[in-house]
């Protein structure tokens, strides 16, 4: 399986994002989902391209219950514009139960555990019924993502992962958004390059778009893309 996917990734390396999506939709028809965090511009391009090809693929986001009010409003606006119903994937426990089990503000003391509960475990449960998921991550986002293949075996979730935008640059993403009038999270206009949960997101401080995530910590990933 892994060798087969590596060969496919090599074959599709020069393909356009739409061609990669077409291949994935045909190969995993009926058992593929797409992730959109609504907290970054790439996910919006992915959603726009996907919906032009297929409107039956479930589109999900991780509702940690800690997203910005602007992000929730953005999700509602996108749902209305595209006439879709994004699926909110929730953690197994709500914030009150988390505080009872692990103490208040777990994100301040142990953000890896908090992400594990509110993002990774939730996504694992959701993906367990599918064969493939589509992500909007790109190689230029962080050094950890620099080798992202366009198709891969996701060991963390034990499922095929499709990254149609892996080769795209930040500039190309924003150019597409402008050209195609794609909606984006309004917090980008306030200096936020990448938007996650309220307690762990600040405006970007450096060249990397994810520099405002977990400010003051070495942590740069929630773990969803570390296969």
Q: Is 67 in the site for ligand SF4 (CB under 6 A)?
A: no
Among 173, 187, 200, 224, contact with ligand SF4 (rule: CB under 6 A): 200
DSSP string computed for the chain: -HHHHHHHHHHHTTS-HHHHHHHHHHHTTTSEEEE--SSSHHHHHHHHHHHHH-S-S-EEEE--S-B-HHHHHHHHHHHHHHT--PEEEPPSS-HHHHHHHH-TTHHHH-HHHHHIIIIIHHHHHHHTT-SEEE----TTS-GGGTT--SEEEETTTTEEEE-TTTT--HHHHHHHHHHTT----GGGGGT-SS--BGGGB----SSSTTTTBSTTSS----STT--
Q: Of the listed 114, 197, 200, 222, which one is catalytic?
A: 222
Among 50, 78, 187, 222, contact with ligand SF4 (rule: CB under 6 A): 222
Among 34, 196, 210, 225, contact with ligand SF4 (rule: CB under 6 A): 196
Q: Is 95 in the site for ligand SF4 (CB under 6 A)?
A: no
Q: Which of residues 115-174 bind ligand SF4 (CB under 6 A)?
A: 115, 118-119
Q: Is 193 in the site for ligand SF4 (CB under 6 A)?
A: no
Stretch that binds ligand SF4, among 19-27, 144-152, 168-176, 194-202 (CB under 6 A): 194-202
Q: Is 45 in the site for ligand SF4 (CB under 6 A)?
A: no
Q: Active-site residue 114, yes or no? A: no
Q: Is 60 in the site for ligand SF4 (CB under 6 A)?
A: no
Q: Is 66 in the site for ligand SF4 (CB under 6 A)?
A: yes
Residues that bind ligand SF4 (CB under 6 A): 64, 66, 107, 111, 114-115, 118-119, 196-197, 199-200, 222
Residues involved in catalysis: 222
């Amino acid at each position: 399986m892994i060798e087969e996917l590596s060969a496919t990734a090599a074959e599709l390396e020069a393909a356009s994002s739409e061609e990669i999506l077409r291949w994935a939709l045909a190969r995993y028809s009926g058992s593929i989902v797409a992730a959109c965090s609504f907290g970054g511009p790439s996910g919006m391009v992915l959603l726009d391209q996907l919906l032009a090809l297929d409107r039956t693929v479930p589109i999900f986001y991780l509702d940690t219950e800690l997203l910005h009010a602007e992000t929730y409003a953005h999700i509602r606006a996108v749902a209305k514009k595209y006439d879709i119903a994004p699926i909110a994937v929730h953690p197994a426990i709500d914030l009150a139960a988390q505080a009872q089990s692990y103490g208040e503000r777990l994100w301040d003391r142990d953000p890896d555990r908090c992400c594990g509960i509110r993002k990774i475990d939730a996504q694992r449960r959701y993906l367990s019924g599918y064969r493939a998921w589509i992500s909007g991550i790109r190689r230029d986002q962080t050094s950890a993502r620099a080798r992202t293949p366009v198709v891969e075996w996701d060991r963390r979730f034990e499922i095929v992962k499709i990254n149609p935008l892996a080769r795209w640059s930040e500039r190309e993403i924003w150019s597409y958004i402008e050209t195609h009038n794609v909606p984006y999270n309004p917090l980008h206009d306030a200096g936020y390059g990448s938007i996650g949960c309220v307690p762990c997101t600040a405006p970007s401080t450096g060249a990397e778009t994810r520099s405002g995530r977990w400010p003051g910590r070495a942590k740069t990933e929630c773990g969803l893309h570390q296969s």
